[in-house]
Amino acid sequence: MPYAPSRQAKRIRQASRTRGTKVLPVRDVIVNGNGVKKKTLRTESHRKSHSLSRLRVAMRPGGPLQGRQRGWLIVEGRPIPVALGRSGIRADKREGDGATPKGVWHAREVRYRADHGPRPVTRLPVFRIKPDDGWCDAPRHGRYNRPVTRPFPASHEEMWRADGLYDLVVVLDHNSRPRRAHRGSAVFLHIARGAFQPTAGCVAFRPSDLRRLLARLGPRTAIEIV
């Protein structure tokens, strides 16, 4: 006999629609052969996750060395452990100084290794990293702080790394508009090495934390490093 929802099931569906709730199938089940109807209902709220408006990265309190190189990313009051540059956080960032630049930055795009993991869920533009991808860190070159194709004649970083640090990379807009020579290049959010060993100036995460963050990161999210 074809399934026909009861009047009560129909009323529940109608009431749920007015509350903006998605209702999954309702089934009337005959139990004990007595024609007694048992109704089960499952609902699922429609809650769209919005982009975060602001994040804060700060050094972790501690000794003079550990306090500079380890930090917290604060997301809606919740701290996430991160690694910072070997020289800590500095406002006067210089190429090769090992410092994480102080300021307010925004994420521009995401790059990832498709052979090492799935495409990240994010509102940002996403690009696959290729074996010949690089990033110029030669201050006097016209492609300074820009992606390049290897082989490349000037100094550059390899984006296709064997250590997995760049399996997932968020490119920040640090020193991008305008670009200034010697003011730093390739400042990313990326995967941490080991037990949060210091970076060359980036902010590094556990892979799971970075993927969760990306799901709520948008181009207007302000990333404040203090």
196 & 111 share domain: yes
Does residue 65 fall inside a structural domain?
A: yes
20 & 66 share domain: no
Please, which residues have CB within 8 angstroms of residue 80's CB and are 6 or more apart in sequence? Answer: 72, 73, 74, 205, 209, 213
Does residue 88 fall inside a structural domain?
A: yes
* CB count in 10 Å sphere of residue 7: 7
61 & 23 share domain: no
120 & 36 share domain: no
85 & 129 share domain: yes
Domain at 79, CATH number: 2.40.440
73 & 106 share domain: yes
12 & 109 share domain: no
26 & 94 share domain: no
Query: Is 137 buried (19+), middle (13-18) or exposed (0-12) by CB count in 10 A?
Result: buried
Walk along the chain (226 residues) and give the pLDDT tens digit of each residue: 544 555 655 554 554 454 444 433 433 333 334 443 433 323 233 334 689 999 999 999 875 556 689 999 999 999 999 999 999 999 999 999 999 999 999 999 999 999 999 999 999 999 999 999 999 999 999 999 999 999 999 999 999 999 999 999 999 999 999 999 999 999 999 999 999 999 999 999 999 999 999 999 999 999 999 9
173 & 86 share domain: yes
Amino acid 11: pLDDT: 56
Amino acid 61: pLDDT: 82
Q: Under a CB-based contact definition with an 8 Å cutoff, are residues 144 and 95 in contact? A: no
92 & 34 share domain: no
H or E element that contains 156 = strand 156-158
102 & 132 share domain: yes
- Look up residue 11 and give its DSSP letter: H
Q: Into how many domains does the chain fold?
A: 2
Amino acid 18: pLDDT: 45
Domain that holds residue 41: 7-45
Please, which residues have CB within 8 angstroms of residue 162's CB and are 6 or more apart in sequence? Answer: none
